[in-house]
Amino acid sequence: MALGKNKVLGKGLANLIPGSDSNPTENNPKKEVRISEIQPNPFQPRKIFSSDSLQELSTTIQQHGIIQPLIVRISQNGGYTLVSGERRLRAAKLAGFHKVPVVVRDYSDSEILELAMIENLQREDLNPMEEALGYQAMMDKLSIKVSDVASKVGKNRSTVANLLRLLSLPHPIQVYIRDGKLSEGQARPLIGIVESKKQLDLANKIITEQWNVRTVEDYVSNLLHPEKKKQNATSKTKDPSILKIENKLRNKLSTKLEIQHSEKKGSGRISIVYNSLADLDRILENIGLKA
């Protein structure tokens, strides 16, 4: 089975796994197996599951049973390896079940990885770090590029690329993002700071003083480009329509830029900031160009 570029999020996991879930086929009938025989999915991108959410699902399973069977494959070491249904399996354990309904399918490692990512992105939002690690795992295991990952999961290339950039941050900051202490928007400007200690000190300051994204962006911009601090002070008098266009371009390109416009001449220039040649390549791809 190949998932292909046209099978993306929003079409339902059952459409991506023919003959699975609530529609077992004659060749892949539903059967019950012992939970102890099922090994966890080695490519599961989600590392943390909400205990409250699992308890709610466990209560539902106790009352109604498991409506959609889990998807497994036969393990080389005996028993089964989970492909899809991690939350249902955990909730069934909480509910005291010893057996669960499954459909056995023949999947390769790369297909399991794809399905694990797609199921999680469809059914329960990953935190930014888990999502980034999942995308990196897809690139490593499947030997594919950022654009291929974006196509498979139905996201914009820039969205995937920006999440992957978070992996360059020091581990303590990644933990802050994972735990919800820092948002992706608050953390992204820190990537431009070279020294890890400065990154971590600023991250703690952001959390302690509860800075919003714009405050973080302005602070880092002034830190990296002190010569522009004076220019930023004049932005308060800049035409609101120009400021609006600047913000749209910043969000689109995920980088610092400035529009300098002369009302008298009716012309001006756009200054785009990049931190490295790799960052420049990313910006060029975002505007449809290749270096």
Active site residues: 86
CA distances from 17 to 124, 140, 229 (A): 18, 23, 54
- Report the C-alpha gap between 237 and 263 in whole angstroms: 13
